[in-house]
Amino acid sequence: MYGPGLDFVSKHPTPTLSLRRCVLIASLSSGLIGCAVSEPPVIPSLPVDAAASYRGPQFVWYDLFSNDVEGASAFYGELFGWEFESNSEYGNFSLARLNGTPVAGLVRIDEARAESVPPQWVPNLLVGDVDEVTGHFTESGTVLKGPDDMPDRGRIAVVEDPEGAPLLLLQTGNGLPGSPDGTHGRFLWTELWSTDLSVSLPFYEAAVGFTRVAGPDGLDPNYRILGTGDRRLAGLIEIPYDSVRPHWLSYISVADPVEVVRKAESLGGRVIIAPDETSGRIAAVIADPTGGVFGIQKWPLEGHGKEQP
């Protein structure tokens, strides 16, 4: 988040973070969107504020695509206190809750494709009109699936931006999901790792209205904040090496990054970027035992409100 920047990211070539298109489509077909050859799964609805009005794009949900949902569930359950819910109606989808509130989804990558595809967290971006935004990905990126209507969830499309970073677009019809609140164990921030800012910046400005906005005092000049108006909604860094493909990295809020890293290692996780390598020891990047990569960020920070990254 505000810690990650070229000063330490370049030291650590991260595992290739990619979902091959056929696998992403297949996993979504059986886990999220529904399959043409059987009844679509019943996916739990997101927690929403029915009275809220759309204010612009924002990241509201995160799904882990994994070939070992049981192993991932055990890891995240111990690390963050998440509890998991799955049943036959959900198909390949499992729901993670924290203190009863849904926080994330887990989608099983089927066994036939598991060996060739690494697990990955994929964020869901709330937009006002999925069909309109999908049109931009049709022109300059790739539309993998949809747009399709999902009961109790909204209208969804699975896309890749011009550099190949996967993303789920979501348009809700029964209220708006809440914004990150800085609670330990909940998602807080989303960050695009790009190989070419001259491509990613204008694309997301045209597609969803993201522009570069002012960050906090002392922010690394190589770290860019994307948002709308005065809203800070995502980070953007340029990947300084060839071993990592463009992707969206998702961060989870924690009270003590050092302690979370220690516990993650004891549970079989692997530290890619340690807190000691970040300014103020406030962030880290971890791979879970199944290979899913995510960030952690201490929050709130001194001088920042709990609700606004």
Mean pLDDT by 10 residues, the chain (309 residues): 40 40 44 42 69 87 93 97 82 89 89 69 96 98 93 90 96 78 91 96 97 87 92 92 88 96 98 86 94 93 62
Give the closest residue to 241 by CA, choosing from 4, 13, 1. Answer: 13
Provide the 8-state DSSP code for 63: E
pLDDT for the residue numbered 216: 82
Instruction: Identify residue 231 by its one-letter amino acid code.
Output: R
Residue corresponding to tokens 């463009």: 246
Residues 6+ apart with CB under 8 A from 109: 23, 27, 65, 66, 67, 117, 119
Provide the 8-state DSSP code for 89: G
pLDDT for the residue numbered 114: 57
The b/e string for 76-93 (b: 16+ C-beta within 10 A; e otherwise) is beebbebebebeeebbbb
pLDDT for the residue numbered 46: 74
Give the burial class of 11: count Cβ atoms within 10 A of its Cβ; 0-12 exposed, 13-18 middle, 19 or more buried.
exposed
Provide the 8-state DSSP code for 304: S
CA distance 265 to 276: 15
pLDDT for the residue numbered 304: 61
Q: 24: number of CA atoms within 13 Å, CB side?
A: 23
Instruction: Identify residue 157 by its one-letter amino acid code.
Output: A
Residues 6+ apart with CB under 8 A from 150: 32, 33, 34, 40, 43, 156
* Beta strands at 154-160 and 142-150: parallel, antiparallel or unpaired: antiparallel
C-alpha radius of gyration, the chain, whole number: 18
Helix axes 130-140, 197-208, angle to 10 degrees: 150
At 268, give phi and psi (nearest 5°). 100, 5
Domains and CATH numbers, the chain: 6-17+179-298 (3.10.180.10), 21-45+54-177 (3.10.180.10)
